[in-house]
Structure 1
Amino acid sequence: MGIVELSLALMPLWQAVHARLSSGRPVSRVNVGPLDFDQRTAVADLLGSARLPGQHLSIALERLDEVLRERTGQDTRDVVTRLIGPIGDRAAERREAEARRAELWEWLGGHPVVAAQPALADWTAGVRRAGLVEGSVARTKNELGKALRVLAELPAAGQPLPSFADKVLGHTHALDEGTRCAHLVLKALVAIYDVPPPVDAPERRALWERAGIADDQLSSTVLAAGLRAQGGVAGRILGLCADAGLAATLTLQQLRATTRLTGVPPEVWIFENPSVLAVALDRFGPDCPPLVCTSGWPSSAGILLLNRLRAAGSTLYYHGDFDGEGLRIAANVVARTGAAPWRMHCADYVAAVTDGPPVGRVTGVPWDRELAGQLTELGKTVPEERLAMALLDEIVRRTTT
Structure 2
Amino acid sequence: MADLDRLRRLLGGEETAWLLDRLRRRMVTGKPLSGIVTLGSATQDQRRAIERLLGRRAGTGSSLSVSLDEVDAVLRRSGSAPDGLADATRLLIGTVPDRATEAAAWAAAYLPLDKLVARRPALVTWRGWLDATGLVRRLASDPGSASALITAAVRVLAELPSEGIALGRLAAETTGDAHGLDDGRPLATIVLSAARVLRGTPPAGDGTAGERRTSWAAVGVHRDELSSSVLCLGLPGGGETVTGRILALAKETGEPCVLTLRQLSLADLGAGGEIVSVCENPIVLASAADELGPRCPPLVCVSGQPSAAVWRLLDLLIADGARFRYHGDFDWGGIRIGNTLRGRVAWQPWRFDATTYTAATATGGELTGRPVEATWDTGLRAAMELRGLRIEEELMLPALMDDLRALADSVGSH
**Shared fold by TM > 0.5?**
yes
Q: Secondary structure of the residue that 1:316 maps to in structure 2?
A: strand
- Rounded to whole Å, the distance in 1 between the matches of 2:206 and 2:296 is 45
- Rounded to whole Å, the distance in 1 between the matches of 2:206 and 2:363 is 37
For 1:139-178, what per-residue CA distance to the aligned partner results, in whole angstroms no more than 9, with x for missing partners?
9998786455343217x45x2x2302345x4744674678
Contact conserved, 2:230 with 2:307, CA < 8 A, in 1?
yes
Match of 2:289 among 277, 281, 286: 281
Q: What runs of 5+ residues in structure 2 fail to find an aligned partner?
A: 1-112, 137-142
Once the two structures are superposed, the pairs formed by residues 137-156 of structure 1 within 5 Å of their partners are 146=155, 148-153=157-162, 156=164
- Rounded to whole Å, the distance in 2 between the matches of 1:104 and 1:219 is 31
Match for residue 276 of structure 2?
268
Match for residue 388 of structure 2?
379
Contact conserved, 1:143 with 1:180, CA < 8 A, in 2?
no
Q: Secondary structure of the residue that 1:152 maps to in structure 2?
A: coil
Q: Secondary structure of the residue that 2:363 maps to in structure 1?
A: coil
Q: Secondary structure of the residue that 1:331 maps to in structure 2?
A: helix
TM-score normalized by structure 1? 0.58
Q: What runs of 5+ residues in structure 1 fail to find an aligned partner?
A: 1-100, 115-119
- Rounded to whole Å, the distance in 2 between the matches of 1:339 and 1:208 is 26
Once the two structures are superposed, the pairs formed by residues 2-401 of structure 1 within 5 Å of their partners are 107-109=119-121, 114=122, 122-123=125-126, 126=129, 146=155, 148-153=157-162, 156=164, 159=166, 161-166=167-172, 169=174, 171-172=176-177, 175=181, 182-191=188-197, 192=199, 194=201, 197=204, 203=208, 207-208=212-213, 210-212=215-217, 213-230=221-238, 231-256=240-265, 258=266, 261-262=269-270, 264-352=272-360, 354-361=362-369, 362-397=371-406, 400=410
Q: Secondary structure of the residue that 2:390 maps to in structure 1?
A: coil
Match for residue 10 of structure 2?
none
Instruction: Tell me which moved more, 364-373 or 237-246.
Output: 364-373
- Rounded to whole Å, the distance in 2 between the matches of 1:126 and 1:179 is 19
TM-score normalized by structure 2? 0.56
Contact conserved, 2:194 with 2:203, CA < 8 A, in 1?
no
- Rounded to whole Å, the distance in 1 between the matches of 2:150 and 2:360 is 43
Shift in Å, 1:370: 3.1
Match for residue 3 of structure 1?
none
Contact conserved, 1:229 with 1:264, CA < 8 A, in 2?
no
Shift in Å, 1:359: 2.6
Q: Secondary structure of the residue that 2:286 maps to in structure 1?
A: helix
Q: Secondary structure of the residue that 1:211 maps to in structure 2?
A: helix
Q: Percent identity?
A: 32
Contact conserved, 1:272 with 1:319, CA < 8 A, in 2?
yes
Shift in Å, 1:391: 2.5
- Rounded to whole Å, the distance in 1 between the matches of 2:181 and 2:226 is 24
Decide whether aligned partners of structure 1 residues 380 and 250 sit closer, same or farther in structure 2, where only a CA change above 3 A counts.
same
Which of these two proteins has the greater Rg computed from alpha carbons? Answer: 1
Match for residue 55 of structure 1?
none
Decide whether aligned partners of structure 1 residues 381 and 338 sit closer, same or farther in structure 2, where only a CA change above 3 A counts.
same
Higher relative contact order (CA 8 A, sep 6+): 1
